[in-house]
Each structure stands twice: as structure tokens, then as C-alpha cells.
Amino acid sequence: MPAREDLNTILVIGSGPIVIGQACEFDYSGTQAVRALEEEGYRVVLVNPNPATVMTTPGIAESIYVEPLTPEYIESVIKEERPDALLSTMGGQTALNLTLELRDLGILDKYGVEVIGASVESIRKAEDRSAFKTVIESLGLESPKSVLCRSIAAAKTTAREIGFPLIIRPSFTLGGMGGSIAFEEAEFDSLVEKALRASPTHEALIEESLIGWKEFELEVMRDKADNAVIVCSIENIDPMGTHTGDSITIAPAQTLSDREYQKMRTAAIEILKAIGVDCGGSNVQFAVHPETGRMIVIEMNPRVSRSSALASKATGFPIARGSAKLAVGYTLDEVMNEITGKTALAFEPALDYCAVKVPRFETEKFPSAYGVLGTQMKSVGESLALGRTAIEALNKAVRAAESGYDGLECLELPREEEERILCSAHPRRLLSAWTVIKREGRSALDELSRKTGFDPWFLHQMANQAELESELERSGGVPSAPIYLEAKRYGISDARIAALAGIGEQELRTLRESENLKPCYHLVDTCAGEFEASTPYFYSTWGEADEGEPIGEDAVIIISSGPNRIGQGLEFDTGCTLASLAWRNLGHKTVMINSNPETVSTDYNTSSRLYIEPLTAEHVKDVLRKEGAKRVVVQLGGQTPLNMAEELEASGAQIVGTSVEQIRRSEDRQLFSAAISKLGLRQPKNRSASTREEVVILARQIGFPVLLRPSFVLGGRSMMIAYGEEELEAFLAKGIPVSPERPVLVDQFLEDAFEYDMDAVSDGENLYVGGILQHIEAAGIHSGDSAAVFPPYKSTPAVLDAMRDAARKIAKEFGIIGFLNIQFAAKDNVLYLIEVNPRASRTVPFLSKASGVNMVALAVKVWEGRSLAEQGMVDSTGYGEGRCLTGWAVKEAVFSFDRFVGLDPILGPEMKSTGEAIGTGATFGEAFAKVQRAVGTILPKEGRVFVSVNKKDRDTILPTVKELVDLGFAVCATRGTANYLFEKGIFSEVILKVHEGHPNVLDHMRSGRIQLLINTPSGRNSQIGGEDIRTEAVAMKIPYTTTTSAAAAAVHGIRYLRTGYAEVKRLPKTEKFDVSSKNDNISKSSVLR
């Protein structure tokens, strides 16, 4: 059947800001879907307030809105665009829930919008756990014993019936939010309460525990003609009890017999049928008892998901694209798979390799949160690696996670700790199993399998590697070619082989040369070689036939940013994707290297060629050799590519843009400081201490408060602000290494300074500044965590000009060609440089969209030799600057604190946010109100505000409080503040601080008497005080401001909200955005008949 003629405009809802459980996989799916729909001639309207995404790049969709994902704003969009249909399945749980809301509010009917993708009925059946259970049983399948409870009392009775441990799962939440495992009576009540609170319908399922069972996922596609295929089977190496998002997984399933697998396959298809998924993809999760093989259905998601993105990358089967086509009326046999160009989507991929996914945790940033994993997802990203064998893929994937392990490596742990980890769902469980195998060998496998729940099959593969490694260690010295080859076939890195053999990496490079040993590359073709593939999508392995011809000198290699992590996420990947599109539009070929399966950059048609490889110098150099390409871009993927620039250049690569020499200069503190003072620019006083004593001495010299930065601390760098001697002691007491090799950097901390972010593109002569963002919070809160506004809203022209001037000097001084990111701080109208990054930054996509200038395309053209002047981006003085096309644009950070129970949501110099949202508007207030809505903060239109500010903030906060009073807000305050306000003629209710007894501010918050908190303790308190208030505010979702500026901003927002408008505006499309990709590598016709 051809595409539906009765549809014209289709509304696609994105998943909003990146949070744990909903990351860039939905940008990938959404972008693919938008392309698939526009191919068919539909007009696509897209709504997603996430500025970091590719999908919200002007030109990707016909009409883009970066408005909050709430019924009122979506209704405005619908009113504006009059879509015929809403594609509900591309924006994760957010879009599904929103679709249900819109339906229930009658908005869809009111405007005659048809839901396509998954019908409202099927969404209900699948998402409502008890309804789902009924369906499962009606099919003669098993689901875990469970009872849906709406109260703690009911839950208790159930607990008695089923017995502990128990799984508690709220209905309608994503990534298992609010779910938990109760091992005994004691913790039960509080856990149930939490679950009920998390569920939008205040329901939770109390469920029998299947901990330790094998866990599987099947990715299924089904069309309206009742055709269905299984795209991919995924086996979790971590057994049931660890969320699939936190589990190390492998595709295809390894340990199921054909009979078991076919049973599961048929069940999955039956389930889609029964739920009514008849035009898209779904994933179905199963648990299988390791001995009896008893199969239990866990859940299904009637939409694309994290695992469908993974499955697409693991198999080459474009699930999102296919789902979009099915949603508009095609059947599976009518849609062609572009990878083969020969097979239809009515085809089950056959793999001749293994695909392993390893989650990436923030164990260093949030140590407390990772004691043990559970049914609620906690990982912030993931890496994918392909290999011919499971062990090869596993080693590559662990390396690709960039968590400090080069592959399977031993943990140095006390035995008790090792034992604890083995017996619990722990992020390092696999590595401690490996440690035991290395120590005790094969004999340990059976017991290990019992303890960890890892299937013997996986442990056996690890044991093989352990034996190979001990051979390397025994023989020592440069290994023979066959042994080296064997080690490479296990996916072991040169660095590790060298370490095992007790030699230098260089000696292995010599061995490679003399014996002509190099990796070979295989095509991901979806069909195990049965048909010729036409889309070059590669992975490396060793000792087999090599496929694909070199792409040649002209091509540009783009190194992307690897797995999402806090500080390096979607923004960077989007830059890489846009660069690839830009280069291809200029007629060049591009090669993308990345290990992140969630992204658009790892979509097979983003670049001329795609390599799924770990982002280490070894792998990148091998790809360079294979492709015969020289030019490498390291400015776009964040810190990961930048860190390997020197090594790449040393091996003959040509680094595009700013030279490695200059990159090093800008990153070396001494050289940098020297250059800066030479330019007559100012940095906060900064010194570097190589002994503990020196830290103290320097701190005194510089004067408190000081900012302390240990060097080389894995992941989170535990930066800290010390306001006095005691804190200094406390800091040093944390056992942070201080030595000449690992100095601690001591900076003068600028208190109450304004902070700015500037992103610019330089061609070596002239400079184009995309825009200047002013932070709303004061310096001291990481640029990635503070709200920021474009254009700067509280700055003297003098300060702004000083920044422009500084930027031009720096760009020249460091011979910047391409991107330049500068963070400034202004205190008492004196400008300081906080940081200079010779690369694209997190804020590039935001500024590009707000200013309507695709800065990445701009840089690409510069790199291709077209000066900014030629591109008409600078004036006669050689300077250009973007302006905000939307009037005002505010960026707000999004945190996933609610996933880390009891974690203090205090903000500081270290980044903690997982994502960001944008709000735009004609006034600052409108933009601010929208962005707050977009991140889920509900600013009150009325009610009571709690005020507690330190002395020096009092005069600043006064007008804000006055305004709130005028707006009819009641005011309550702590004694000091209350007295001050009283003197100024404002009456406020006096309430107790947390430690002054009851009822105190917390009690008032809990009883719902407080709708807004303004609390600006100064000095050390801003860092340590008020913890309980913050934690409670997060738990209860009460807006909370720590700075007078943020409070003032909130009032602007409130004023806008009280107008009652929900205006929406299409993101301006300018000719400066041409992202239509010239697909030099895929067959044009996408539909068979």
C-alpha cells in the first residue's frame, strides 16, 4: 500500500531535555523519522525544547518549535500548524504520556488530530502494568506474580502473600523512575510511598522477584497487514535485577537454544498483536530461568526506545525510519533497507559478529549513588562495540566507555569488597569477576556464575582470555606474530598487550610494521554476507579478509565524542553530525568515528562512511591508515578527540584548523597565563601547589575564598571552593594526591561575579562571535549547570566590548582557525578570563539556533579556506557577531538528581547536569518562564514565597520581594530577613530555620504552604548550608533560587505566566542553515513498489 494521501502535515513530538533514561537515542529516532516522512512529501512539524538536538536544527524539519512539552504549548502549536496527525512514538515516554494527556484533554479531537504510530488504546494497554498483565495471561504467557496497589496498606497485604524480596514498580514512569527492590519489611513502606509519588496515576505494582534470571529483549516491528519481524535479540549479561539500561548487553542472544528462542520470538509477535501495535516497532522484555528455562514476560514499550536505537546500530536495520514509514501506511515488504539496497524491511537481520553495549556511569561524580544498581536506571550514557567474537566486542566496548578501563582489567580491591561487588548488582561486577578469573582461573567459573548470575558461557569466554594473557605474561618480551594476532582477536589494546608482555607500545608498532600486521574491517550488512551491502558501515577485527576500498586523501575524518557523560553529551555529537553534513554539501567525503549508539552521528547515512570504534588513538590511527585519509577534525567532539590530537599528528595525521602546537599552548597553564598577561588580559590569581603545605601557603597568599582543582582526578575532578582554613584542611583530608606530578591548582575565587560564555569562529584573521551568553547564577556554578541568557541582560557595554576585544586578541595570539570558546567572569566591572577552549563548546548548538547561523557550517567553510569575509560574516573591522532572532533565548540546565536518592542537589564549580532546555520569547520573562516550564519547574502564579537571604543580598532582594508582594504573594522569612523586610515596610510571617525546631521551613514546605524559595546564604553556607531545604525542594518540585539574580528572573517569569498566554513561535529558518545531506552513499529510492 502506498503512503497515506489523506495526511498532509504531521506533528512529531521529541523527548525534551536529556535526562537519565531519555537521552539522544530519541534525537536519532526523531531525526530519522522526520527524514523518512519528508521523503514521502509530508510537511513535518517538530516540537522539542532541547537545543542540543540535531532534530531541532533549522532545515531538518519543515517547521520547528522549541517550546515546552506541555498540553497548553502543544495546543498552541496545533492551533498554529493544524497538523492532520501526531506521531506519538518517537519521543520516548515523554511523548507517549503527552499524547495520552492531549487525548484526555480533548485537544486532539478538538482539532481533529489523528494519533499515528501507536494508537492511544495500545499505549494504554502496554503502559498500564495491570492491563498489560491481563493481556499476557490471555495469551497463555506468564508474567511475574504481582498486584497493583494504590495504597501502602494494600501493598502490605500483597507483600505478605508474595514474600520478600519484592519489586516495586510505579505505573507510567520512564527508566523505572521511582521503582525499587525491597529486600525486607523494614524498608518496604518508604519505598512504596516513593513509588506511588513517582507514578502520575499513583499506582504501583508489587511484584515477585526474578533477580538472577537471564534477561532478554526482542526488538519487533509489525505492520497493519499483520507482518512482523524480529529486528534483533539482546541478551543482558547482567541478569534480572539490573535495569537493561545499566546492564552490559550483547546482541544477538547467545545462550538460547533454537526452540527457546523461537518460543520467545513467537510470544513477542503475539504480544504486539494483542496490544495492537500494528504500524511500528516495540521492544519486549523477557526473563528466563537459568535452569528450568521458564519464560516470563517483563514488559513491552510500544515505541522506539534506547534499545531500538541500539538494535538499529547493532544490526544496520533502521527501526525508527521503518516505524515512520509504517505509520503512514506502508507495509514492511514495501520499505527497502538502504544498507543492502536489495532487501525489504520484511527481513530479519542475520549477524555474523557480536555487538556489546557497556553503560557509562558517573561513579566519580556521584559515588554515593552507585553503591548498587537496581530496577531504576542510573547510567548516563553507553558505548557500543562490534567484534567477530563476544570477547573481542566486550573488550572494545569496555574501552569505548572511556571509564578508565582499557578493556577487561583487574580491580585492586580488598577481598570483602570484591565479594560484596560479586554478589550485588554493581557497575563493576563484571570486572571483579574478571579479577577472580585472572587470579584463580577456570576452576572458579562455576562458583562465580552462581554468585554473579553471569551465564557460564560469558565467563568461559573471559577464561579463554585469561589463559591467553598468562601466556603473554609467561613468555614476556615482544610476542610472536601469531600470539600478538591472537591477542588482537580478543580485542586487547596494544597498550595492554605491551603491559602484559612487559614491553613498550613502540615495540609492538615495530612488530606490526615488520610483520605487516594490521586490523581488517568488516561491513555491517544486516545479512551476514548473503547480499552485497551498499552502505559503508564498518567495524574492525583482526586476521580476516579486509573489505572496502580506501576512501582517499580528500576525505575528512571526524572524531566524535563517545558515550554521553556529564560535561560531554549530545551538544558535541550534534556538532559532528552538522559538520559531516556541511562537508558533504561542499562535495567532500566524510568518515565518522564514534562509539555512541544513541546518536545521529552513528546513523549510517550521516557520513560517507561510518566506523563504530572506541575513541582511542590506536583505533583512530588504524582507521586513518585503512582509509588513506589525512585530515582529522578534533575540535568538535569535546575533550576526547582533543586529547589524542598530538598522538595523531605524530603519526602523520593533518589536524584540521588550529594547530596542535597552539592547542597545547592554550591548555598548558603556564604557557597560557604567560600569553594572557602578554595580551594585557586578566585571569583570577592562580598558582599551582605541588605539596600539601604549599596548598595552604598559596591559598593564604592569594587570599580566601580560593578554588581548588586537583589535577588528574578520574572523571569528576572534585573541584572545591574553600572559604577559609578549616575547609582547606577538610579538602586536603580527603586524601587528594598532591605532588609535583599531580599538582593542585589554587585559584582566586571570584565571589558574586557575573559569568559569561562566548562561542566564536576564527579564520586566523577575523572573528565571528556566535553570541555572548550571560549566566543568571553567579560564577562558581559550572557554566553547564547555570541558567544563561542570550543576549546578555545585565551587562554594561564596556564589559561586553572588553570581551569582544579579548576574544579577538586571543584568537590571533593562539592562531585559532575554527572554534573558540571563552568563559569570562566580570566582578566590579573588571573582566577576568576563566577558561579558553580551542574547540566547539556545549553552547554552540544553542547559539546557532538562537542566532540563525549554523556556526558549524561556518567553521567547515573556514576550514575549506573560505574566509569569514568571503562568507560575509564580518564587517570592515573584521568582526561579526550573531544576534538573537527570537528576541530573548534562555538556556536552563536539567538535572537527574531525582534518580540519586538523597543526593544533595547543591550546585558548584563541577558540572552535574545531564541536559539542557531552551526557552524563547519576546520578553526575558517569557523566555525564562518557558524554559522553566520546559525543565519541569512550575513557577507559581500565586501563593507564598519563603525568603532567607544574607545581609549583603538584602538590599538587592528588596525590590524583588516588593514585586512579589504587589503580585499578591504572601511572604514568609527567617527572623533576620523578616526584621529587615519589616523595617522596609514589608510584613512577613516569621518561620524557623531547620535547626530552630518545629514547625520549621521544611514542615511548611511539606504541608504545601510554600510555593517559591529564595535562599541566598553567602560564603561557605552557599556551599554547605541549606542542604535539607534543597533536597526537599527537589523532592517536592518547589522552585528554588540561590541567587538574587535568579530570584529576580523568576519574578519576570511569574509576571509572564500571569498573563495566561502560551504563545509559540516557529524557530526562524535562515539561508545560513543548509543541512540537507547529499547522500553520496545510499540508494535514492527508498520504497520498493
Partner 1 sequence: MIPNSYLILDDGSVWPGKSFGATPPAADSLANADVSFDGEVIFNTGMTGYHEILTDPSYTGQIVLMTYPHIGNYGDDDSWSEIGPESGREGLPGIKAGGLVVRSVYDGRVPAGRIKLNEFLKKNGVCGISEVDTRGLTLKLRSEGSRNGIIVGAGPNGDLSEEEKKAALLYLQSLPSMAGADLTGKVGTAEVSAINPEGKIHVALLDCGLKMNIIRELVSRNARVTVLPSKTTLEDIQTLKPDALLLSNGPGDPEPLESQASLAAGLLGKIPLWGICLGHQILSRAIGGKTYKMSFGHHGLNHPVRDEKTGRVFVTSQNHGFAVDEASLPDGFTVRFRNANDGSVEGIENTDLKLICVQHHPEASPGPDDSSWIFDLFLETLED
Ligand X SMILES: Nc1ncnc2c1ncn2[C@@H]1O[C@H](COP(=O)(O)OP(=O)(O)O)[C@@H](O)[C@H]1O
The residue ranges that bind partner 1 (CB under 8 A) are 225-227, 229, 252, 254-262, 265-266, 269, 291, 331-333, 342-344, 346-354, 388-390, 445-446, 456-457, 459-460, 463, 482, 485-486, 489, 522, 527-532, 543-545, 547
Three-state secondary structure readout of 881-926: ECCCCCEEEEEEEECCHHHCCCCCCCCCCCCCCCEEEEEEECCHHH
Q: Under the criterion CB under 5 A, does residue 904 sit at the interface with Mg ion?
A: no
Part of the chain binding ligand X (CB under 6 A), chosen from 208-216, 255-263, 306-314, 515-523: 208-216
Q: Under the criterion CB under 6 A, does residue 747 sit at the interface with ligand X?
A: yes
Q: How far apart are CA 294 and CA 419, in angstroms?
A: 29
To ligand X, the closest distance from the beta carbon of 132 in angstroms equals: 10
| Cell reading at 926 | 517569557
Q: Residue 781: which of Mg ion, ligand X, partner 1, none does it interact with, CB under 5 to 8 A by kind?
A: ligand X
Q: Residue 175: which of partner 1, Mg ion, ligand X, none does it interact with, CB under 5 to 8 A by kind?
A: ligand X
To Mg ion, the closest distance from the beta carbon of 296 in angstroms equals: 13
To ligand X, the closest distance from the beta carbon of 201 in angstroms equals: 15
**Cα angle at 557 between 551 and 561, to 5 degrees?**
145
Q: Residue 261: which of ligand X, Mg ion, partner 1, none does it interact with, CB under 5 to 8 A by kind?
A: partner 1
Three-state secondary structure readout of 129-148: HHHHHHHHHHCCCCCCCEEE
By beta-carbon proximity to partner 1, the closer residue of 492 and 1029 is 492
Binding mask 552-571 toward Mg ion (x if CB under 5 A, else -) reads --------------------
Among 188, 454, 749, 846, binds ligand X (CB under 6 A): 749
| Cell reading at 390 | 563476544
Q: Is the dihedral of CA 787, 48, 402, 428 positive or negative?
A: positive
Q: Residue 371: which of Mg ion, partner 1, ligand X, none does it interact with, CB under 5 to 8 A by kind?
A: none
Residue with cell 558535541: 572
Q: Under the criterion CB under 6 A, does residue 820 sit at the interface with ligand X?
A: no
To ligand X, the closest distance from the beta carbon of 789 in angstroms equals: 15
By beta-carbon proximity to ligand X, the closer residue of 208 and 547 is 208
Residue with cell 580478543: 490
Q: Looking at residue 113, what DSSP letter applies?
A: P
- What is the Cα gyration radius of the chain? 28
Q: Residue 545: which of ligand X, Mg ion, partner 1, none does it interact with, CB under 5 to 8 A by kind?
A: partner 1
By beta-carbon proximity to partner 1, the closer residue of 18 and 229 is 229
For residues 150 and 202, the answer to whether their CB atoms sit within 8 Å is: yes
Binding mask 611-630 toward Mg ion (x if CB under 5 A, else -) reads --------------------
To partner 1, the closest distance from the beta carbon of 388 in angstroms equals: 5
By beta-carbon proximity to Mg ion, the closer residue of 752 and 757 is 757
Q: Under the criterion CB under 6 A, does residue 1030 sit at the interface with ligand X?
A: no
Element (H, E) at 817: strand 817-827
By beta-carbon proximity to Mg ion, the closer residue of 249 and 783 is 783
Q: Under the criterion CB under 6 A, does residue 1043 sit at the interface with ligand X?
A: no
The C-alpha torsion from 195 through 201 and 206 to 212, rounded to 10°, is -70
Q: Under the criterion CB under 6 A, does residue 823 sit at the interface with ligand X?
A: yes
To ligand X, the closest distance from the beta carbon of 816 in angstroms equals: 18
Residue 549, Cβ density class (10 Å: 0-12 exposed, 13-18 middle, ≥19 buried): exposed
Q: Interaction with Mg ion in 1013-1072: which residues (CB under 5 A)?
A: none
Q: Residues for the chain: how many in total? A: 1089
Among 3, 152, 154, 211, binds ligand X (CB under 6 A): 211
What phi, psi does 571 have (nearest 5°)?
-50, -45
To Mg ion, the closest distance from the beta carbon of 911 in angstroms equals: 8
Q: Looking at residue 22, what DSSP letter applies?
A: B
To ligand X, the closest distance from the beta carbon of 434 in angstroms equals: 22
| Residue whose CB is nearest to Mg ion in the complex, by number | 835
Q: How far apart are CA 81 and CA 11, in angstroms?
A: 9
| Cell reading at 1029 | 531545604
For residue 566, give the nearest of 707, 389, 379 by alpha carbon.
379
**Cα angle at 163 between 158 and 164, to 5 degrees?**
115
Q: Under the criterion CB under 5 A, does residue 667 sit at the interface with Mg ion?
A: no
Q: Under the criterion CB under 5 A, does residue 694 sit at the interface with Mg ion?
A: no
Q: How far apart are CA 77 and CA 89, in angstroms?
A: 18
Asked if residue 999 has a cis previous peptide bond (ω within 30° of 0), the answer is: yes
Among 267, 523, 779, 788, binds ligand X (CB under 6 A): 779
Q: How far apart are CA 385 and CA 612, in angstroms?
A: 6
Among 76, 233, 540, 783, binds ligand X (CB under 6 A): 783
Q: Interaction with Mg ion in 120-159: which residues (CB under 5 A)?
A: none
Q: Under the criterion CB under 6 A, does residue 933 sit at the interface with ligand X?
A: no
By beta-carbon proximity to Mg ion, the closer residue of 783 and 932 is 783
Q: Interaction with ligand X in 690-719: which residues (CB under 6 A)?
A: 707
Q: How far apart are CA 131 and CA 416, in angstroms?
A: 44
What phi, psi does 580 have (nearest 5°)?
-60, -45
For residues 745 and 669, the answer to whether their CB atoms sit within 8 Å is: yes
| Other beta carbons less than 10 A from residue 999's beta carbon | 12
For residues 217 and 198, the answer to whether their CB atoms sit within 8 Å is: no
Q: How far apart are CA 1083 and CA 1089, in angstroms?
A: 15
Determine the distance from the C-alpha atom of residue 544 to the mean position of all C-alpha atoms in its chain, rounded to a whole number.
35
By beta-carbon proximity to ligand X, the closer residue of 20 and 69 is 20
Among 471, 649, 835, 904, binds Mg ion (CB under 5 A): 835
| Cell reading at 588 | 567532500
Q: Do the strands 85-87 and 830-837 form a parallel or antiparallel pair, or are they unpaired?
A: unpaired
Q: Residue 747: which of partner 1, Mg ion, ligand X, none does it interact with, CB under 5 to 8 A by kind?
A: ligand X
Q: Residue 331: which of partner 1, ligand X, Mg ion, none does it interact with, CB under 5 to 8 A by kind?
A: partner 1
Q: Under the criterion CB under 5 A, does residue 80 sit at the interface with Mg ion?
A: no
| Cell reading at 528 | 551476514
Q: Interaction with ligand X in 832-861: which residues (CB under 6 A)?
A: 834-835
For residues 220 and 268, the answer to whether their CB atoms sit within 8 Å is: yes
By beta-carbon proximity to partner 1, the closer residue of 353 and 370 is 353
Determine the distance from the C-alpha atom of residue 248 to the mean position of all C-alpha atoms in its chain, rounded to a whole number.
17
- Interface with ligand X (CB under 6 A), residue total 37
To partner 1, the closest distance from the beta carbon of 352 in angstroms equals: 4
Q: Under the criterion CB under 6 A, does residue 819 sit at the interface with ligand X?
A: no
Amino acid at the residue 656? V
| Residue whose CB is nearest to ligand X in the complex, by number | 176
To ligand X, the closest distance from the beta carbon of 210 in angstroms equals: 4
Q: Residue 167: which of ligand X, Mg ion, partner 1, none does it interact with, CB under 5 to 8 A by kind?
A: ligand X
By beta-carbon proximity to partner 1, the closer residue of 24 and 272 is 272
Three-state secondary structure readout of 573-596: HHHHHHHHHHHHHCCCCEEEEECC
Element (H, E) at 400: helix 390-400
**Cβ-proximal residues to 818 (8 Å cutoff; 6+ apart), any chain:** 635, 656, 657, 658, 761, 762, 840, 859, 862, 863
Q: Under the criterion CB under 6 A, does residue 218 sit at the interface with ligand X?
A: no
To Mg ion, the closest distance from the beta carbon of 204 in angstroms equals: 16
Q: Under the criterion CB under 5 A, does residue 348 sit at the interface with Mg ion?
A: no
Part of the chain binding ligand X (CB under 6 A), chosen from 240-248, 864-872, 879-887, 969-977: 240-248
By beta-carbon proximity to partner 1, the closer residue of 456 and 715 is 456
For residues 46 and 74, the answer to whether their CB atoms sit within 8 Å is: no
What is the contact surface with Mg ion in residues (CB under 5 A)?
A: 783, 823, 835
Interface with ligand X (CB under 6 A): 144, 167, 175-176, 207-211, 215, 240-244, 285, 298-299, 375, 684, 707, 747-750, 755, 779-783, 823, 825, 834-835, 909, 911
